[in-house]
Amino acid sequence: MSSSVSGPRQIHAVVRGARADSASAARPARGVSLLLTLGLLLACALVLTLAWQLRELRQERRGLIERVNDPYVGMYVPKVALTALDGSVVVLGEPRADYQLLYFFSTTCPHCLASLPMVKTIAAQVPAASKGRAEIIGVASASAADAGAYARAHALAFPIVANSEVRTAMLFRAHSVPLLLVIDADGRVRHARMGVIDAAADLRAVLAALDEPKRPGGGAARVANKESP
């Protein structure tokens, strides 16, 4: 009789022991799973952080390259005397009044041709908007004959100089056209636009540059914009 009672008890004891062993084994497994999850989350966070830092570094590098190659606000420009198509002498980088707009273009550039309507609008509005304190000069990368024919064909009413020397263009960082610069009396760039000039925003940006107060020591607080054609 005693042996028949002890049998079930032994079975229950074995079952309880097995359950205890199973629970004990499950606890370390859950701990390992939690650690793996945390590790994956940390790895993802690290990857995102590194990706963000890489993006920032690329942007900084791009900014440095542009600052070396492209015109920027606050940049000083040289004074270069050239003869206009009408025989008068103009000095690029030295406004006769307070401001000088330099429009660099090529007679064979399709983006320059697309920019002409807005450039002519700017040339027509700037004198009145600036109360006579601003002038605009076109700088053509062409021979005098080609520049003259282009000016007549498109009825350009502002002075044009023909410049066939790459070095002169590079002094103003005009490695790409069209390029529009607004230069103040200190010889510093107030606004730069590289790329197609065909939006009302381009006119507003030029007019704003003419009204913008200088920083102490010269220059203006406007960031030069660029749009590759």
pLDDT of residue 69: 81
CB 207 within 8 A of CB 136: no
Indicate the number of domains in the chain.
Answer: 2
Q: Do 20 and 86 belong to one domain?
A: no
Domain boundary, last residue among 27, 46, 69: 69
pLDDT in tens, 67-121: 568 999 999 999 999 999 999 999 999 999 999 999 999 999 999 999 999 999 9
Give 223's DSSP letter.
Answer: P
- If pLDDT is split at 50, 70 and 90, which confidence band does 5 have? low
Q: pTM, whole model, 2 decimals?
A: 0.68
Q: What CATH number does residue 200 fall under?
A: 3.40.30.10
- Structural domain ending residue among the three candidates 36, 69, 102: 69
Q: With 0-12 CB in 10 A as exposed, 13-18 as middle and 19+ as buried, what is 159?
A: middle
Assess whether 210 and 132 both reside in one domain.
yes
Domain presence at residue 75? no
- Mean pLDDT in residue range 58-66: 59
pLDDT for 34 equals 82
Q: What digits encode the pLDDT tens for the residues 172-189?
A: 999 999 999 999 999 999
Q: Label residue 4 left, alpha or beta by phi (over 0 means left) and psi (-120 to 50 means alpha).
A: alpha
